[in-house]
Amino acid sequence: MAIVKLTNAYDYYNAQLGTIPRDRVRATEIDALVDTGANMLGLPEEVVERLGLVDIERRKARYADGRVEVKRVVGSVRLEMEGRLGEFDALAEYRGTMPLIGQVVLESLDLIVESRSKELRPNPESPDMPTIDVF
């Protein structure tokens, strides 16, 4: 599990530009399950609504039990955890489901899951900021 701060990125930038007051920026803090088998960020509908995220597209989502569903992709959300920050789109999931942090988020923020302790932490090779591999 990880504590994650989520902010509506559009609100954040509008506040930076002065088009909305800073106190109108929609944000929330949640507990999320870190799942290295998942690809994207998955957020339950109540979090999507609380943040006012907008639909971007629809994608097929394949689940561990083999079912495939067409789901909404929403965005954009600023995500902060373990001292790292990034912007991501999210898969809108059913109400009451556990928020998921998938591999795209972990790789982008250069975070690793320690295999023995199951703890999430910054990559020890880049403790001060994420490193991006450019090949």
Convert the pLDDT of each residue in 1-26 to its tens digit. Answer: 899 999 999 999 999 999 999 999 99
| Average of per-residue pLDDT across 86-103 | 96
State the DSSP H helix or E strand holding residue 63, giving kind and residue range, or none if neither. Answer: none
Q: Which two tokens stand for residue 23?
A: 């106190």
In 3-state terms, what secondary structure has residue 10? helix
- Report, in angstroms and rounded to the nearest whole number, the Rg of the chain calculated over CA atoms: 15
Convert the pLDDT of each residue in 20-56 to its tens digit. Answer: 999 999 999 999 999 988 999 999 999 999 999 999 9
Phi (first) and psi of residue 120, to 5 degrees: -90, 135
Q: Where are the domains positioned within the chain?
A: 2-122
What is the pLDDT, as a whole number, of residue 111?
95
Buried b vs exposed e over 120-129: b needs ≥16 C-beta within 10 Å?
bebeeeeeee
Q: Is the pLDDT of residue 68 over 90?
A: yes
117 falls in which pLDDT band (50, 70, 90)?
confident
CATH number of 2-122: 2.40.70.10
pTM of the model: 0.91
